[in-house]
Amino acid sequence: MKFTERLKTGKKVFSFEFYPPKTAEDTAKLFATALELMKLSPDFVSVTNSSSGVAPYRTVALCGVLKAQFGLEVVAHLTCLAHTKSEIAGICGGLVKMDITNILALRGDPHNVEADARRSDYSHASQLIADLKKTGGFAVGGACYPEKHPEAPSLDADIARLKEKVDAGAEYLITQLFFDNAFYFRFLEKAAAAGISVPVLPGLMPLTGYKQMQNFTKLMQVGIPDALRKGIERWDGDKDGMFKFSVDYASAQAAELLKGGAPGLHLYTLNRSRAAIAILKNVRTDVAV
């Protein structure tokens, strides 16, 4: 089923994100995680794709396994920065053979693409989205950034570029992770004012330590509210205390988003199940979904 059909029902949707493992041990752990998360009946799982130009085939293979062997609905990430149009067509052909009809279309991170791999026919995700819509058969989504893309000069400029994705055919959006819901609700207002009316699924992930918090603020330029920062600092070094605090914070954030009208939740799992299971159970207890 196309993910967009589930969105049209008006029911809250819940999803998890995985990344392709690199070793046999990591593969076994991922499949164990998938088995646990299956019990929560997610509406879909997504599989990430590096912009290096190498990993898309691992992404396609993992998508096929999750759909065929686990019975999960899958959204395949597809980056275009290191690919020609003919390569993208080949990747899409593989997805079609596996009956995968959902794609999250992304530009990719230029820093992950070596100079000699930059032979792409694409510069922006909107170009990939337009080609995917011409191909037909796919429900296509795009990424968005409630606090603005790190490369954008302003949030308004970023939303103008986002409008190009929607005009090209993006049918839904999934956000970069964020920890302050005010950014999400402000973003929705500005997006609506710009004529963007597609569903925007918030992406959430609990922080698990001080180092991780530093990485997010430096690499992704994501804001950390004082309450979250103080909690991370307080519980750093206490594994059980940190887990409970992080899950409680993410659960409260998720509940507020759903009550505020978010169409569902997209949980970044880092290929682990424990926190995602706890958050979703908490939300389903606190919010009528």
Which residues are part of the catalytic machinery? 17
Residue type at 90 in one-letter notation: G
Phi/psi region, residue 204 (left: phi>0; alpha: psi -120 to 50; beta: rest), is beta
DSSP state of 41: -
Coil vs helix vs strand at 21: coil
H-helix or E-strand spanning residue 33: helix 24-38
How far apart (Å, rounded) are the C-alpha atoms in residues 274 and 243? 10
Residues in the chain: 289
- For 236-251, the DSSP string reads TT-HHHHHHHHHHHHH
Helices and strands per DSSP (H, E), number in the chain? 11, 8
